[in-house]
Every structure is written in C-alpha cells, then in structure tokens.
Amino acid sequence: MHKLDRYCLPSTLKEAVAELNAPGRKAVLFGGGTLAVKTLPPSADTAVDSRLLKLNYVKTDSKYLTIGAGTTFTELLEKPAVKTWASGILHQAAFAISSRMVRDMGTLGGNLVRPYPYNHFPCLLLALDAQAVVAFKGKTQTVPLAELWSPKLMPLLGTKAILTEVKIPASSKNLSAIFEKFSKTESMWESYAIVTVAMEKKAGVCRSAAIALGSAVPTAMRFPKAEALLAGKTIDETLAEQAAAQAAAALPKLTQPEKADYVRGLVQVLVRRAILQAFAK
Amino acid sequence: MPKTVKKSNAITASNGLFTVNFELNGVKTELLTKPGETLLDLLRRSGLRGTKKGCDTGDCGSCTIILDGKTALSCLMLAVQANGRKVTTIEGLGSPAEPHPIQTAFVQAGAVQCGFCIPGMILATKALLDKNPSPTEPEIRHALDGNLCRCTGYVKQVEAVQIAAQALKKQPKKKGK
Ligand SMILES: Cc1cc2nc3c(=O)[nH]c(=O)nc-3n(C[C@H](O)[C@H](O)[C@H](O)COP(=O)(O)OP(=O)(O)OC[C@H]3O[C@@H](n4cnc5c(N)ncnc54)[C@H](O)[C@@H]3O)c2cc1C
Ligand code: FES
Ligand code: FES
C-alpha cells in the first residue's frame, strides 16, 4: 500500500531540494521514472518530478562537455557534440540502450544515480574522468563520478540531493576510445561485461590510457596498474595481453560469482581487444 | 467526492485519491487515481483496453503510449505523472470503421497475428513517422526495438512501417492524427 499523497513539479532546483528535504516528509525524486515507479518505497509520501527543472541539456566550452542529468538518451542521440566526442562512444552507448521507450523516458542522471551493474554510463564516464555536480541543501558540490556511489552520498541522491549535471573534461574530446558491451543478444540490458578504453595517442605512442569495466563487477571500476603498463609505450599484442592479464587479476568480487572463470577470461579478452582497437584507431 | 488541491505546482491526494487532468486522445479528461497506480492500470480501468499489459516491467512494449510526442511505457509511469500532459493511446488513432493509415498498413502487410503487441507497435511507428517520415530499415528496426512480438518474425512489421510511410506521404495532414 503506497502512502503517496503529494506529487509536485518544481520548476527550480531550490524548490526541488526544498521538497526533498521538507520536514516530516519522505520524498522521492523522479527522472524519467523507469526505475523509480517500480522501486517506490511504500513509505514515500511525496513524488518530486524533475521534469520542469530544465536539466536536459548538452553544452560545450573550453573546459568541459557538460550534460544535464535530466537529459534522456534520445536527447543525447540528437546532440552533434555527443556524436563525435571520444570517438563517438557516448552516442554508441545511448544508441545501445535496449529499448526505444527507455531511451525516450530514461535519463542519464537515473542511469548514474542507481548504477545497476548493467548500466552503460557508469563505466563509460569513469573512463572519461567525468565529474558529477550535486545540489544539496542550498549548495552545489562537484565530485569525481565514483563518489556518487559512496555510502555517504548514494543514499542521499534522489531522496535529499539532486545530481544536476555531469562534466566531462574537454581533454577527452579527441581520445581514441572503444565501448564494448558483451551480452547474449544486442537488445538485452543485462550483459556479462562492459569495457571502455579511452586512449591519448601521439606519434605512434600511447601517452595515457583509461580502462574501465562495468557489468562484470557490481560497481564500475578502473584498472590503474594495467593503465600504467600502457602509458608512454607503443602497443603491440604482447603489451595489450599483459595489461589485460593485469586487469583480470585485479578483479574483485564479480556480479555473477558462479560464472567467475568464464567472466574473468571474457574480461581479459575484451580488455585486450579494446586496447588494440583503441590504439589502432 | 475527492478534490484536487493545487498548491505551487503540486497535486495533493484527497481521501486517498489524486485527480489527474490531462488530454487523452485529444479530449480534456479528469480521472481519479490511487497513489502508486500506473498510467497503464488507470487507462485499462477506464475502459481503454487497447493499451496492453504484457510484462508490467518495461520489457515488452505492449503498454506503449505517446506522451507529449514521445513514446512512453505506461507501466513505468505513475498515472499522476500524466497530469497536464497529452496522451495518445491506440483508441486515439483510428477506429475499425475509419482506421489510421498505419493501422491499414499493418493489416495490408500481414503484420498482425494474435495482435497483442500491435497497439504498442503502431504507436511506436506513429512516433517514428511523425519525426522521420522516410526512415531506413535500420532506423525502423531501432525505433521498434522495444516492442516484442511473440508471433511474427518482425519482417512483416518492418514492411508495414514502410507501407505506412508511403501512405502518409500521400495524405493531407490531419491535426492530431
Ligand atoms: C526495460 C529496461 C531496459 C533497460 N535497458 C538498459 C540498457 O540497455 N542499458 C542501460 O544502461 N540501462 C538500461 N536500463 C536502465 C535505464 O537506463 C534506467 O532505468 C534509467 O536511466 C533511469 O533513469 P530515469 O530517469 O528513468 O530514473 P528514475 O526511474 O526516475 O529514477 C531512478 C532513481 O534515481 C533517482 N534519480 C533520478 N534522477 C536523479 C537525479 N538527477 N538526481 C538524484 N537522483 C535521481 C530517483 O530518485 C530514483 O531513485 C533499462 C531500464 C529498463 C526499465
Ligand atoms: S507492460 Fe509495459 S513494457 Fe510490458
Ligand atoms: S502479433 Fe502476436 S505478439 Fe505480436
């Protein structure tokens, strides 16, 4: 039995944060609602719909590509900057969201704030060193993306605090990048692994590389030791294999522990392949 | 009778019910909904059973509606979220006596078997063709990728969208259709 007795549509961030923090009330923020509707706690009494907050935008300046948290995947697909940024992997990841209706309804914010292992964007944006901007009690705070999933911040998001936008450093614009999702069928949300590799290259040398993994692990992660192996080197099969083995060895608890052997092998293959493809681009 | 209390862009439930005011198939409509009720359940409870309940989890697309010009899954929306918006269901498109060209095209192409997925498919097609009157085959497949069909192999449905696109180009534009 739901206790919901108030549905509000604030038009400013201030109003929305105030609704979420109203004394004696238990509010839930709605983006597109694709997860919120089915996971609404029975104790929630207020639904705060973010639809009028105008958080759907994509902007570029000399420092960042900034994406509003309320941007739907369909809106992302329509933005020219997204088409080409970092070899087009943001576009590719939005295009691969499993259903047209979810692309029309679901937002980037919802994808990041409740980072189901299978979600595309936690892994992808981790590889691009994205930052998250969070509004909470009259202040906005910019934090590294991974902090969204910290035990301190995560419970506040959508109940007391709002993710307003994601900032992707301009330095990632021309990175040579690969996004690969490995699932039983192309149109499945659930997958075995999502790998993102983003590489800066100059004169036939990899200057730096980011390797991120989603899906196989409960929370998207990077592999600093494997990345360090690639920095400043010309990449060949042997080096890519070494880095991939390093990544596989660094895997923590898996999302599907019963398939550990298969998933570890798969991650190693996907990482090696993505490194070679990014370097060859 | 429960009453809608409007206060700074908010609706408050009265006697455990929200009053939702929205445009349903071009007609201003007021309906009462329980907290937590989905738009799908409200529509079906109100007699609009063309919107189907397949999975109720967002996976099948049979509950697809058009919401302010975009597709939406009515099983993943609270009914109260429809307040102030424009909703089109299959009943808003055509009737057996006067079918919409997309409906005619689905029949013509033999794209309908049991018919359960078809309202969702047709609304997804409508949203596609409103935006892109000449879609390519990959564009059609991508636009219908959220609508599952257990009977056909999708080939006839892609054909139906192509036939509908041609038919609509020949038609003078009707408002809201
Ligand atoms: C059928 C189906 C298929 C899917 N397939 C894929 C897929 O292939 N790939 C993929 O990556 N994802 C997939 N998803 C997940 C989908 O991307 C997410 O459900 C969606 O992004 C969530 O966004 P939303 O706006 O609908 O969030 P909502 O459902 O509105 O909210 C989800 C949660 O996040 C909170 N929240 C939302 N926005 C904010 C914000 N700005 N600040 C703070 N808190 C916020 C809400 O309070 C709520 O707790 C799928 C989902 C479904 C239902
Ligand atoms: S009933 Fe809504 S997607 Fe299946
Ligand atoms: S025609 Fe039967 S499910 Fe599609």
Query: Which pLDDT belongs to residue B171?
Result: 83
Query: Which pLDDT belongs to residue B175?
Result: 53
Cβ–ligand 2 distance for B120 under 6 Å, the answer: no
Whether B3 has a pLDDT exceeding 90, the answer reads no
Last residue of some domain: A171, A205, A234? A171
User: Of residues A96 and B1, which shows the higher confidence score?
Assistant: A96
Predicted model pTM? 0.96
Question: Is residue A1 very low, low, confident or very high in pLDDT (cuts 50, 70, 90)?
Answer: confident
Verify that A43 and A85 share a domain, yes or no.
Answer: no
User: Which atom of ligand 2 sits closest to the CA of residue A101?
Assistant: 3
Of A199, A203, A202, nearest to A240 by C-alpha is: A199
Verify that A73 and A35 share a domain, yes or no.
Answer: no
What distance in Å separates the CA atoms of residue A144 and residue B62, rounded to the nearest whole number?
A: 39
Domain containing residue A94: CATH number: 3.30.465.10
Verify that A192 and A164 share a domain, yes or no.
Answer: no
Verify that A110 and A62 share a domain, yes or no.
Answer: yes
Query: What was the ipTM of the complex prediction?
Result: 0.95
The domain of A109 spans 58-171
Verify that A111 and A41 share a domain, yes or no.
Answer: no
Domains of chain B with CATH codes: 3-92 (3.10.20.30), 101-169 (1.10.150.120)
Verify that A216 and A136 share a domain, yes or no.
Answer: no
- A1 in a structural domain: no
Verify that A152 and A181 share a domain, yes or no.
Answer: no
Contact B72 A52 (CB under 8 A): no
Of A199, A167, A249, nearest to A89 by C-alpha is: A199
What residues in A contact B57, CB-CB < 8 Å? 38
Please tell me which residue of chain A has the smallest CA distance to B11: A7
Q: What is the pLDDT of residues B47-76, one digit of tens each?
A: 999 999 999 999 999 999 999 999 999 999
Q: Which residues contact A81 (CB under 8 A, 6 or more apart)?
A: A58, A60, A65
CA distance B65 to chain A (A): 9
Percent of chain A predicted with pLDDT > 90: 97
Domain containing residue A266: CATH number: 3.30.390.50
Residue B45 CA, ligand 3 centroid: distance in Å: 23
- A220 in a structural domain: yes
Other CB atoms closer than 10 Å to residue A237's CB: what's the count? 10
Q: What is the pLDDT of residues A113-141, one digit of tens each?
A: 999 999 999 999 999 999 999 999 889 99
Contact B73 A105 (CB under 8 A): yes
Q: Which residues of A touch B (CB under 8 A)?
A: 1-11, 15, 30, 33-34, 37-38, 40, 47, 49, 52, 74, 95, 98-102, 104-105, 187
Verify that A92 and A164 share a domain, yes or no.
Answer: yes
Please tell me which residue of chain B has the smallest CA distance to A94: B142
Q: How many domains does chain A have?
A: 3
User: Taking residues A7-12, what's their average pLDDT?
Assistant: 96
Contact B61 A6 (CB under 8 A): no
Q: What is the pLDDT of residues B31-40, one digit of tens each?
A: 999 999 999 9
Query: Which pLDDT belongs to residue A186?
Result: 85
Query: Which pLDDT belongs to residue B173?
Result: 65
Q: What is the pLDDT of residues B116-163, one digit of tens each?
A: 999 999 999 999 999 999 999 999 999 999 999 999 989 999 999 999
